[in-house]
A and B are shown apart, each in its own frame.
Chain A
Amino acid sequence: MKSIFIKKHALILLLLVIVGCDDGFSPKGSFENGYSFFCIINGNTSVQKAYVAKNYNPPNIVPGTFEGEKSIPNAKVSLFYNNSSFSFYDSTLLSEEDGRVYYSYFLENFSVSENQMTIVVELDDGSVLSSNAMCTGNLRFSYDSQKNIVYNLKDAYRVAFYDKNDAFYFSPKLFINYEEKIGNAVINKRIEVPRRYLINGNDVIPEYPDLAERLDFYYPILMIENTLNSIKESALQNSIIVINNLTLEVLEVSEPLAAYFEVNKTFNDGFTIKSQQPEYSNINGGKGIFGYKYTSVLNVGLDKSWENLIADMGYLFLR
């Protein structure tokens, strides 16, 4: 009687263990071949780079375990601009990140100013990837943007530009240029002005502008003053600080590149779990991004009204 009882319960226990077991499920489906292409034409340099890769299929679902080659050599990468054709050449590069060798593509002595460019990638298997990008030249800043900045805490340094082009997004950076002198040695330095500060308990954390669609932007004068004041915190002992001027750098990026940047920014809050990753691509016949960027530079002086303040801070003022 007792043995029947034990057998019965052992059977139930066994059944429960079986149904509770891992089901060996794999989320993988049939592999699909495909290609990615990445290239950003930088209007401020004459050397351009591109990267072509193929889809890959690791034996499990851990992508890091894939040992094969992902980047593709021997592709024909051609850039068409102003009725001319420019060809990229391929080369191998050693990645500092993972120590692997990658095939990369280069185009030298190429610079653009305005208009549209087209890129075409022809692969050995007959696949063709292509895309277009708009390019532009120096921004035309408004007259007020170029005037010396007057010290008035209620005001702000306002920057506006003409010929706003919908095809571009903008990211400004404003730097204070200064010299640090120790004896005869002069070190030229610059410090970026934040747009505002975040307060976290006793910590004050600067926040800088991001990429956005805009016609204008501004920096409160208080931010420039605070940044000036903070220079001495990192200055060497017994050094003399000479304040020169300010430099505004405005990065313009083509709209698809801005969209790609936004979509691929890490939005992970550490808690949200998503079953799908966002994706943006402007490559026909594959995935990836073809874009353009250019940085316009404007030097701006500080008005005489800053003189006393700068002196009070213990700096010299070079006007």
Chain B
Amino acid sequence: MKTSRPFFKIPASFFLLIFIFIISNSIIGQQYGSLRGFITDSTSGEPLAFSNVLIKELNRGSSSDNKGIVLITSLQPAYYTILVSYVGYQSKEISAEVKTGKLTHIDIKLSPNSIEIQTVEKVGESVAESNATDLGVERISVKDLEKLPQGVETDIFRSLQYIPGVKSAGDISARFYVRGSPSNQNLILLNDIPVYHPFHALGMFSAVDPEMINNIEFYKGGYTAEYSGALASIMKLNTKSGNMNNISGTAQASLLTGKALLEGPVFNGSFVLTGRKSYNTDVLKKFTNNKNVPINFYDVSLNLSFPEIFPNGNVKIFGFLSSDIIYNNNMQQADFKWGNKLLGIKWFQLSDSPLFFEINTYFSRFEGEVISNLSSISPSKNSLTDITMDMNFKYVYDSKNELDVGLKIQEVTSELIIENASGSSKDISGPKGTNIDAYGKYKFLSNKNIGIDLGVRLNLTRLATGDAGKYFIEPRFSTTFRIFSELALKGSWGIYSQELVTLSDEDELINIFEPWFIIPSYLPAAQAIHYGLAIDYKLSEKFSFELGGFYKSLISFPALNDYKFYDTDHDLVEAKGRSYGLEYSLIYSPFPFRMNLGYSLSWAEKTANGKTYNPRYDSRHSLNISVEYNIGYGWYSSLSWNYYSGLPFTQIIGYRDEWDIKDIYDTDNIYDNLFPYTITGERNANRLPDYHRMDISISKNIDLEFLKLYLSISIVNVYNRKNIFYFEKDTGERVNMLPFFPSASLKAEL
């Protein structure tokens, strides 16, 4: 029987060396002081993530984290002028005194620009990023996403396709593929809680309403030791904290959904309540070749934030529900329902020293059910319950170096019951498991031109068995070497594992939902190695580009057993794969324009069921261009163009008669029950035509005395490109993706 295996052993002397280094760091530099800032929106108190902070006298800076907190250590005692900037806000300069051995805390409130003079003020970014070990990381403010053409519904996942290395699953699906990995190797974290099925409506839209989101951190590879649970990418969606000052709200309607947000102060804290519900699914016919989808979905979230329970701390309680139901109202057809339930509590604490800690406890459950009624579809039930507690500590030394340690205890129960019509049921999941894993990492940041993030993650048990002693080690490394002030060389390497996966059928272009479960013990845990290297060039605040390469070895991951014919056959087999490529991104933003260009040249390969082939999402070339234009006076326009070269597909090489045994009792008249079976060639050996599409949008912000209105009009597929989706097997009909399609949305904010 196969079991998890450590890739290699790290000698104990290595850890001793690191320990000595850490201790020595705490002795160095007792003569310095530190500065900590908390940057918020002056009108709502909402933290401003990823804002830039520059100490003018030293030309030294940093960026705030996803909570709006920035920490700068190793400062000589003095008065400093701090310049803080954030896109869409007026920059602010304040003075602060730093004392020896002390931590100076400052609250910085930035005011939003008025819509008439909406200029981009962005200073200190290059300084902040000098030695940041951030290869493969994208930090996105939701305000940035709102400016892109949105089509039917603003969608966070679809917006990611502008990042090189990220490929959308097409117009019809919000699923995405990262650097040649299947989509079930992406982990979506909502306030650090996994959302196992983050999709509505057959995967057409994400279940996470952008209205609740403050910022996004997207790790497309080479991520550092604090992250676990995914082989391809991790998307951290951090929600808004809520308006600390006033009750306010927004209501929004699109062609598909109606949604609302209410926020305001509560019990010395704040709340944000969001809700979204589908009300008209006619528009979905554009996605489904005019087929009616009797679907209803909704999502609700509530975030409570209490920053005053503990001084310099914050306690957040977060809940989220999403639900989809397909009800056919016909017993001859199956019905389907699925949804997520999330509940989490997080305590984040700052201290009087440069120490942060965070304790996070959460519950996440996905439930899906296929109710067969009288159809021939097998009934099935799937649930996955994840109860986790994790603790993370960060200490920033006077030398600017950082130490991070953390521990995670996770208990997962999964159930994937397939029932045949005779009533015999079978749970094909590894039903329950506990995983304990810990990480430690050290960031060497004392040299302003070199940053090194060196860490290790230790999995003490395996979920499928819960057995101790089946440990495996995941070392991680990320570095930045700034050669010149404009030019940096970045690299990353790491070993990654994943134990929760979906039962994905690669041949399904659209499916209802993919059931989640623990990788059964007859297969090893999924494992991958990432390698990344890039050159980052930043000429000015307005022009920068990054050119990089990656290689990813998928050592082991589960794939559907194509040769499962009997109940006793395993549903999954072990697959292997690799992907590699080059990625290029360019940002040019001369006000009032902002242009993004992302290009990737990549190869992906998969070996499963004894065959090696290019998976369906292997696109050789991918080019995405977006241009935003701030017209002024509240008008905003944008244009995006996506291109990717043809995806692999399997050719039809003929047809043959296949016998459809409708009734096993009546097998006499074979010739009356024949249907054409499509004979296909070598799997994915050919390519579909190239895909390209242009979208445009124009929006207007109207600021009335008591009400703000945001009107947006978009046109999807401006030149009506007929991008192929698939061919109907029975009729030969070519089904294309979205045609030319105008849409509009209106948002009102009180």
**Residues of A that sit less than 8 Å from B by CB:** 16-17, 19-23, 25, 27-32, 34, 36, 38, 40, 42, 49-51, 53-58, 60-64, 66, 70-71, 93, 95-97, 102, 104, 171, 195-196, 198, 200, 203, 205, 207-214, 217, 251, 253, 255, 257-277, 279-280, 287-289, 293, 295
Contacts and interface: CB of A to CB of B under 8 A. Distances in A.
B422 A27 contact: no
B107 interface: no
A170 B508 CA distance: 31
A48 B731 CA distance: 34
Contacts of B676: 63-64
A195 B566 contact: no
11 contacts: A22-B734, A51-B659, A55-B654, A61-B732, A62-B732, A209-B423, A214-B424, A265-B376, A269-B512, A273-B510, A274-B505
A275 B616 contact: yes
A258 to B, nearest CB: 8
Interface in B263-307: 288, 291, 293
B726 interface: yes
Interface stretch (B344-352, B479-487, B666-674): B666-674
Nearest to B326: A271
B218 interface: no
A16 B718 contact: yes
Contacts of B729: 277
Contact of A262 (B331, B565, B650, B670): B565
Dominant secondary structure of chain B at its interface with chain A: loop
A29 B686 contact: yes
A53 B509 contact: no
Nearest to A62: B732
A32 B654 contact: yes
Contact of B672 (A97, A200, A208, A275): A97
A40 B616 CA distance: 37
Per CB-CB distance, the 7 closest pairs between chain A and chain B, nearest first, are A29-B651, A210-B421, A63-B676, A16-B719, A62-B732, A259-B565, A20-B719
A204 to B, nearest CB: 11
B659 A212 contact: no
Given A40-B667, A55-B654, A62-B731, A19 B719 contact: yes
A27 B651 contact: yes
B333 interface: yes
Nearest to B739: A20
Interface residues of B, number: 81
A28 B672 CA distance: 27
B661 A261 contact: yes
Contacts of B658: 36, 264, 287
Contacts of B731: 62
Nearest to B720: A20
A271 B420 contact: no
B677 A32 contact: no
Given A20-B721, A264-B658, A273-B510, A217 B422 contact: yes
Contact of B421 (A20, A27, A209): A209
Nearest to B563: A280
A211 to B, nearest CB: 6
B659 A38 contact: yes
B26 interface: no
B649 A275 contact: yes
Given A259-B566, A275-B509, A51 B671 contact: yes
B94 interface: no
A251 B510 CA distance: 36
A207 B421 CA distance: 8
B706 interface: no
Contacts of A274: 505, 507-509
Contact of B567 (A200, A203, A213): A213
Given A211-B664, A272-B508, A275-B509, A28 B689 contact: no
A289 B732 CA distance: 27
A260 B26 CA distance: 70
Given A62-B732, A273-B509, A36 B421 contact: no
Nearest to B507: A276
Contacts of B420: 210, 212
A279 to B, nearest CB: 7
Interface centre among B291, B719, B721 (most CB of A within 10 A): B719
Contacts of B689: 23, 25
Nearest to B673: A97
B726 A275 contact: yes
A217 B333 CA distance: 27
B657 A36 contact: yes
Interface in B675-703: 676-681, 686, 688-689, 692
Nearest to B680: A276
B750 interface: no
Contacts of B664: 171, 211, 251, 253, 257, 261, 293
B732 A275 contact: no
B378 A275 contact: no
Contact of B655 (A66, A211, A255, A289): A66
Contacts of A17: 719
Contacts of A28: 651-653
Contacts of A36: 656-658
B447 interface: no
A275 B676 CA distance: 15
B657 A29 contact: no
Contacts of A263: 565
A32 B731 CA distance: 21
B677 A200 contact: no
Interface string B629-649: 000000000000000000001
Interface string B406-433: 0000000000000011111000000000
B732 A60 contact: yes
B312 interface: no
B659 A288 contact: yes
Nearest to B289: A273
B655 A38 contact: no
A25 B671 contact: no
Interface string B427-444: 000000000000000000
A248 B650 CA distance: 47
B334 interface: yes
